[in-house]
Amino acid sequence: MKPYRTVLFVPAHKTSWFDKAAACGADAICFDLEDSVPDHLKAAARGEVADAVARLSQERPRTGLFVRPNSLGTGLAGADLEATVVPGLTGVFAPKVDTALDVVRWDTLLDHVEARSGTSGVEYIIPVETVQGIQHCEEIAAASPRVGAVIGPTAEHADIAKAVGYEWSPEGTESLYHRTRILLATRAAGRHPLTALWERIHDLDGLREFTVRGRKTGFRGQVVLHPTHVPVVNEVFTPDAATIDFYRGLLSTYREAEARGDGAVVYGDVHVDKAHADKAVEWLARVDQLAELNGGS
């Protein structure tokens, strides 16, 4: 999966919001058919999503386009996928995944609808939002080649808060254990680690602090709820020029030392050996991948 910095949610029945969401600079958009759509509007919203994916995938080919269907237990997931898995869809935001078996069940549905719709390569973003999901996050992250990203959540009022029963704080100490466990499982499986969710729409300073803490923990992107959050989160997850120059210089210095037969060298005031160089290679590769998102912004 591409290293999305921002995945912006938009209710699938709010069609007047679609183009605003697409224009705000988010790396990916997720059309939500689950919690944000009233039951009596879900059927019509499926068609709106399919139309939007067909159009936006042509107009904005760099933007990831995802759909969050209703969970497997509702009996609506099959109809959601049947209608919305169309050419141009990047992936499925698969809710309420408790075990690796749930991922296999999503695979079975998706294999079927891909064959019928002529699509391929649809990926998953999986939010670990239940206690059972936390307990099985290692198996979930590795359950299918379709798993592209996994979310370690710390929402104030969403499913994870209800499931775990924590009392939310901006610092996130109450959710640090399960987020870290999910992060490690995600990295071990070679998936993209996302976090979520800052629910206070107008508190952009709090959002920035929250996002910086997530980046320092090891997350590389975030689910966002409002277009005004996108530039803040994108900036935090975009490496700055000084850091890019640091890693380029470190790697160049190490390679010169290696060519001389030295296994270690001092770069500035930092001891550098192969482990440092390997980190620089990985870090700079992510910079190159980020440059491809949304035209390099």
Regarding whether 286 and 150 lie in a shared domain, the answer is no
Regarding whether 249 and 228 lie in a shared domain, the answer is no
- Give the residue from 236, 256, 277 where a domain finishes: 236
Which residues share a beta bridge with 151?
127, 194
> Any alpha helices (H) in the chain, and if so which ranges?
18-23, 42-59, 77-84, 100-117, 131-135, 137-141, 159-164, 176-188, 204-217, 230-236, 241-260, 274-291
Regarding whether 77 and 187 lie in a shared domain, the answer is yes
Cα–Cα distance list, 35 to 124, 143, 155, 158, 179 (Å): 18, 25, 15, 10, 22
Could you list the mean pLDDT of each consecutive 10-residue stretch along the chain, which spans 297 residues?
Answer: 96 96 96 95 97 97 97 96 97 97 97 95 97 97 98 90 92 94 98 95 97 96 97 95 93 93 91 94 89 65
Q: Beta 28-32 vs 6-11: how paired, if at all?
A: parallel
Quote the CA–CA distance of 144 and 127 in Å, as a whole number.
Answer: 15
Regarding whether 289 and 165 lie in a shared domain, the answer is no
- Give the residue from 221, 236, 251 where a domain finishes: 236
pLDDT digits (tens, 9 = 90+) for 92-140: 999 999 999 999 999 999 999 999 999 999 999 999 999 999 999 999 9
Cα–Cα distance list, 106 to 55, 96, 226 (Å): 25, 11, 28
95: nearest Cα among 121, 76, 131, 68: 68
Regarding whether 245 and 231 lie in a shared domain, the answer is no
pLDDT value of position 58: 96
Residue-range definition of the domain harbouring residue 226 = 6-236
Residue with token string 């979310």: 151
Quote the CA–CA distance of 96 and 117 in Å, as a whole number.
Answer: 25
pLDDT value of position 289: 87
pLDDT value of position 146: 98
- Give the residue from 204, 236, 268 where a domain finishes: 236
Regarding whether 266 and 137 lie in a shared domain, the answer is no
Regarding whether 153 and 253 lie in a shared domain, the answer is no
Quote the CA–CA distance of 197 and 221 in Å, as a whole number.
Answer: 11
pLDDT value of position 286: 87
227: number of CA atoms within 13 Å, CB side? 11
Question: For residue 1, is it within any domain?
Answer: no
Instruction: Provide the number of structural domains found in the chain.
Output: 2
Regarding whether 55 and 121 lie in a shared domain, the answer is yes
pLDDT value of position 121: 95
How buried is residue 164: exposed, middle or buried, by Cβ count under 10 Å (0-12/13-18/19+)? middle
- What CATH number is attached to the domain comprising 189? 3.20.20.60
Quote the CA–CA distance of 160 and 129 in Å, as a whole number.
Answer: 5
pLDDT value of position 290: 87
Regarding whether 161 and 33 lie in a shared domain, the answer is yes
The pTM of the full predicted model, rounded to 2 decimals, is: 0.93
The radius of gyration of the chain's CA atoms, rounded to the nearest angstrom, is: 20
pLDDT value of position 238: 93
Quote the CA–CA distance of 165 and 175 in Å, as a whole number.
Answer: 10
